[in-house]
Amino acid sequence: MREYAGNWTKRISTVSMLIALTLTLILSGCVNQLNKKQALVNHLLESAGPQEPGTQVSYVVGEGPQEDSIIASPRGQWAISAEASSSLGGRRGFPGFTAKEATGAPNCWDNWNDPRAWGPATENAGYEWIELKYEFPVYAQGVRIRELAGFCIAMVQLKDTQGHYHVKWKGREKIQKDVAWLILDFPKTSYLTDTVRITLDTTRTAHWWKQIDSVQLVGTARK
């Protein structure tokens, strides 16, 4: 009987060791994948070049008086078209969520996976981007990005009318709210722009699906 019990103890110990080893390998694989995703984003950020000087960063929590003033800005315009690296939209059971949903004025008032906002196809793929086009080229002075439970934007660029990209901000967001605006204010650009490109690192947060509701480009036609 003692020999039988001893054999079972050895078996249990062996199984426990195998489980622990398997979990260690899985965890190590996940960490390696995460590191690779973050390394790719960091490489892309570095290759984009330096940030243009003068950008001031602030945040506005959604659904309040400050948000109302942003939406009503006479110098702001909303995107008329957009494309993205990927979209949750179009998959079975997921209507909406396409890049097109990030065009126009804000229309999402809930942070719970709202199909009226753009969301990438995979929750934590790492590198994602969305590029938005505006009707009128302007000498830009600001960009306002309305986010839903994401807060993983890594870079914001302006594309001038000659096709060149300009880095207006790189960094790590410092707010964790269900609905909020990333506000970028900067000196008036010397070039006309009608395109905003936003780069995300979706591994940065463990929130729900990262989403962007709308993006306002602020500027004037006069130099």
Nearest to residue 187, comparing CAs of 223, 156, 141, 222?
Answer: 141
pLDDT computed for residue 25 by the predictor:
43
Nearest to residue 172, comparing CAs of 199, 148, 195, 194?
Answer: 199
pLDDT tens string, the chain, 223 residues long: the values are: 555 555 555 555 555 555 545 444 444 444 466 677 778 778 888 999 999 999 999 999 887 888 999 999 999 999 999 999 999 886 656 678 899 999 999 998 766 678 899 989 888 878 999 999 999 999 999 999 999 877 889 999 999 999 999 999 999 888 777 789 999 999 999 999 999 999 999 888 765 678 999 999 999 999 8
Domain coordinates of the chain in residue numbers?
48-220
pLDDT computed for residue 214 by the predictor:
96
Q: For residues 158 and 16, what is the distance between their CA atoms, to the nearest angstrom?
A: 55
Classified as helix, coil or strand, 207 is coil
Q: In angstroms, how far is CA 166 from the centroid of its own chain?
A: 18
Classified as helix, coil or strand, 21 is helix
Q: For residues 131 and 83, what is the distance between their CA atoms, to the nearest angstrom?
A: 6
User: Per the confidence metrics, is the pTM higher than 0.85?
Assistant: no
pLDDT computed for residue 27 by the predictor:
44
Question: In the 3-class helix/strand/coil scheme, how is 159-183 assigned residue by residue?
Answer: EECCCCEEEEEECCCCCCCCEEEEE
pLDDT computed for residue 36 by the predictor:
77
Domain 48-220 has CATH 2.60.120.10: no
Q: For residues 43 and 197, what is the distance between their CA atoms, to the nearest angstrom?
A: 17
Q: Which residue is associated with the tokens 């204010």?
A: 185
